[in-house]
Structure 1
């Protein structure tokens, strides 16, 4: 009677082992600050990667945590490079406090339009930025440059003379310095906090990406929007990143599947990028917000201030600062 019992126990043990092996897939946690399920292209990029990786059937899963549900916006870079977080969609300039070189990815007037943003992705400039990312302990899975504009509850922000006396949010040190030089007061915060800050009177206006202007419903708090058009002063690099520690734990098949998923996410973003600006314009107009465009004259006036303030400071104080600016400007 003992042998059948042993056989049953052995079979049960084998079944449990098989179940355990079958469920032993690698899970990557992806965190970002943007709203989930509301049409934000950055969330859509990460969700697309999760679907592609799942379809590749390489025992790899990406669990997506949108809306700061896992890490706050300002915590993601530190968590990523320490290996506490696997993946993130991150406005890279948020990490410029640790790596001042990253401010080049939100430098006024350095990109100007979506076509040039695409050319920058394959340039020496981006090779230099990605080396800083790699040396810090992360790597890029998908590139994304988002255009942005200015919005205010006080008056239209067009030329530099229109920001005097306004308290503005600008996203990074380079824009902070340019706007302060033009006479604005600065309040720093992630884009996820703009709505509440405007609602409570902490801010008069802000600049952020076209995607964030819509997904965070900033149109409910402002009276005028300056859209980027062909003269976008504000462009920000917001890639999808993976921790090098997490990458090294993957096998070759999983790394290949993740790389392929990143390429698809990047291609998807490239198709959507310019449409984000028009979507922003349409949504703001539908909600009664006045929309104006950045003219070449205003663009050049801002650029002149930026070159005398933010560009100068960056070149003098940041390692390879002038080389980074030169490499970006060398892209036609």
Structure 2
């Protein structure tokens, strides 16, 4: 009897191992800590897929442990990476149109950002992604602000002469127009750059400001408030060929999980700005406010620098910009 029982247990173990071996594992890369909203978005998709029991597993490699932040789009497009949560403008070198997803003053607020994600503008960008064998699973924009090591930054003249980190080409162009010196780096590198004196000012998402504990290195923070100059599209992307290779059941599960993650992303993104301001204030950092007049001064500068350069450099740039501006 015992030998029969042992054989049955061994058979079940072998069956379970066989089932596990047959499961498809997808690798998802991102640059943030597991406390960051973008990791949470990825985790929701992974958890929902796991719970559905469709022989699909998503393994998350966070904190830039698999690829460097700016080096994820190319392996994704080549099928060397299955999924990533990525600021799309990081891939502006491969597809210059992506620089429009981090254009100063183009997005008014989070609900406007959601409308942009569901518009002909985004359809045009997704067509360009498809050329690279890339597709969007979860749309999402995050707002952000400015932080200064020694002073507050609310208007263009505040950055004059400061070594400043800007996320993306368009912001760099605008800040250069305000006579700032530009230092290019991923948001994960801001802390060390400020600590070592390489950097005096930075702008990035509210979430990254908190996730990377920038409040330990600055004296003043200008969060996204009633007006937010800084909005950045940061979707969860997938290699399209990999997606097409999944079973219909696995695809549907992945899409359903992504819908849930996208709803979470929008609601949590709205909370990030006020939450970041409180965390910085609690850490003793001065909180500054950008006025509507400050915003318009920045936007005027952006139109003359970033917008104009985008249209000049991207063959269908004016068409794409018009599509974005058409979204009310």
* Corresponding residue for residue 289 of structure 1: 285
* Corresponding residue for residue 25 of structure 1: 23
Q: Is the 8 A contact 1:112 1:234 kept in 2?
A: no
* Corresponding residue for residue 131 of structure 2: 135
Distance 1:270 1:13 in 2: 47
Deviation at 1:12, TM superposition (A): 12
Is there any run of 5+ residues in structure 2 with no aligned partner, and where? 1-7
* Corresponding residue for residue 45 of structure 2: 49
Deviation at 1:248, TM superposition (A): 2.0
- Are residue 59 (structure 1) and residue 55 (structure 2) matched? yes
Q: Is the 8 A contact 1:101 1:319 kept in 2?
A: no
The one of 298, 315, 327 aligned to 2:294: 298
* Corresponding residue for residue 260 of structure 1: 256
Where do residues 243-254 of structure 1 align in structure 2 (5 Å cutoff)? 243-254=239-250
Question: SS at the partner of 1:165?
Answer: coil
Tell me the TM-score normalized by structure 1: 0.93
Q: Which runs of 4+ in 1 moved over 3 A?
A: 11-21
The one of 88, 94, 97 aligned to 1:98: 94
Q: Is the 8 A contact 1:149 1:234 kept in 2?
A: yes
Distance 1:220 1:117 in 2: 30
> What is the Cα-based RMSD across aligned positions, in Å?
1.7
Deviation at 1:94, TM superposition (A): 0.4
* Corresponding residue for residue 32 of structure 2: 34
Distance 1:18 1:213 in 2: 47
* Corresponding residue for residue 7 of structure 1: none
Question: SS at the partner of 1:156?
Answer: coil
Distance 1:13 1:116 in 2: 57
* Corresponding residue for residue 326 of structure 1: 322
Distance 1:19 1:45 in 2: 29
Distance 1:13 1:52 in 2: 30
Distance 1:273 1:64 in 2: 21
Distance 1:84 1:257 in 2: 22
Distance 1:208 1:252 in 2: 38
Is there any run of 5+ residues in structure 1 with no aligned partner, and where? 1-10
The one of 124, 128, 142 aligned to 2:120: 124
- Are residue 179 (structure 1) and residue 179 (structure 2) matched? no
Residue 239 and residue 155 in structure 1: after superposition, are their counterparts in 2 closer, same or farther (change >3 A)? same
Tell me the TM-score normalized by structure 2: 0.95
Question: SS at the partner of 1:293?
Answer: coil
The one of 85, 88, 94 aligned to 1:89: 85
Residue 57 and residue 19 in structure 1: after superposition, are their counterparts in 2 closer, same or farther (change >3 A)? closer
Distance 2:198 2:116 in 1: 35
Distance 1:330 1:318 in 2: 19
Q: Is the 8 A contact 1:180 1:186 kept in 2?
A: yes
Deviation at 1:19, TM superposition (A): 4.7
* Corresponding residue for residue 6 of structure 1: none
The one of 227, 234, 250 aligned to 1:231: 227
Q: Which moved more, 1:231-240 or 1:14-23?
A: 14-23
Deviation at 1:245, TM superposition (A): 2.4
1:212-241: CA deviation from partner (whole Å, max 9, x where unpaired): 000000010111111111211100000000
